[in-house]
A and B are shown apart, each in its own frame.
Chain A
């Protein structure tokens, strides 16, 4: 089991760097253009008008906006959680640890349903 940890650690490191760079880049671009505007408080006291989906985040890529890049970074963070369970399940399977492969695949299925399919 000990040799599973470096693989998962490496996945977390890569995705953390990608997420951090995307969020930082989008954030800086946004602050350069709108940093001195007042905070749109009214937006955060009511229900959101534009629901987000994978499609709307994907559409934003064709004509990237600073906050669209941030949103993509947040999506990387969400998908990292799914990826690390998938990697753990696969590594347990490879190590022929059936009980933990089944447990991990079960967690993965619920996660896929909640984080992706329902999304």
Chain B
């Protein structure tokens, strides 16, 4: 295969990954890593390097539109990101003491169950409840654009969401995967945010979380420019396209897309823990 053919294929894959990442709040790594590893037999470290680049590109590309349109809740994003970085530091300390394939297996099963809950949960039925006292103190409740104009929402379960984010950070520090899925779940299940606020705020945060690991991958030479340049170009265009589509897609349809993608991530994890790719 010539380099030109490979680059063109990767550009198309990255475009789809960016679009899916923008809509689900998961970043584009979910698609990039398995395509590089399973289809092109690229070493997992290079694939994760390209995946981190795709996550940062999705996060940056979507942030412009989501911030302007008013979906992203910056305060919730920063608050939960603090939990994620505390978790990442704990995860890094725990690395020598834990068996990563068992954790990946448990995490994979938890994700499948969470995907089921996300798929089953009905639309924003409890957004009119009063907010958690911590949410009020931190001024987390806000509003977001709907087809009927701006709509206010409350914020529940702040300590629970912070706990999930700490676990998400630790897992991403331990395994380098899956934090996007837990970010959306923390905001959707624990905080009971409107679904689009959860996915867009996750999109804002994942770039910051990916940058924590990307520095290390850069310095070890795993972020390769030949693999990364079609990824950046495709993902940026895909993410901007996805961000334009978001206001026109019904939240329930987004939940179904998210659940499907999370199931794929979970199956990848279970496969990884059993086979060790």
Contacts and interface: CB of A to CB of B under 8 A. Distances in A.
The interface residues of chain A, by DSSP majority, are classed as helix
B221 interface: yes
Interface residues on B, range: 35 or more
A39 B1 contact: yes
Contacts of B56: 77-78, 80-81
Contacts of A75: 218
Given A5-B68, A36-B2, A80-B60, A51 B138 contact: no
B170 interface: no
Interface of A: 1-2, 4-6, 8-9, 12-13, 15-16, 19-20, 23-24, 26-27, 30-31, 34-41, 43-53, 67-68, 70-71, 73-75, 77-78, 80-82, 84-85, 88, 92, 99-100, 103-104, 106-107, 110-111, 114-116, 118-119
Nearest to B52: A78
B64 A37 contact: no
Nearest to A20: B236
Contacts of B227: 44
A10 to B, nearest CB: 9
A36 B3 CA distance: 6
B233 A9 contact: no
Most chain A CB within 10 A, of B64, B75, B225, is at B225
Interface stretch (B18-26, B41-49, B268-276): B41-49
B110 to A, nearest CB: 25
Contacts of B78: 88, 92, 100, 103-104, 107
Contact of B221 (A51, A114, A116): A51
B141 to A, nearest CB: 12
Contact of A1 (B74, B79, B213): B74
Contact of B67 (A5, A40, A78, A118): A5
Interface string B225-236: 111111011001
A47 B224 CA distance: 12
A110 B88 contact: yes
Contact of A100 (B6, B60, B75, B213): B75
A115 B56 CA distance: 13
A118 to B, nearest CB: 6
Contacts, number: 189
Interface string B35-62: 0000011110110000001001101110
Contacts of A6: 67-68
10 nearest A-B residue pairs (beta carbon): A48-B221, A81-B211, A115-B215, A35-B4, A70-B225, A67-B225, A119-B215, A27-B229, A110-B85, A9-B67
A59 to B, nearest CB: 15
A38 B75 contact: no
Contact of B216 (A27, A30, A99, A119): A119
B85 A119 contact: no
A22 to B, nearest CB: 9
A55 to B, nearest CB: 11
Nearest to A31: B4
Contact of B2 (A1, A37, A49): A37
Contact of A44 (B63, B79, B224, B229): B224
B6 A107 contact: no
Interface in B208-264: 208, 210-216, 218-230, 232-233, 236
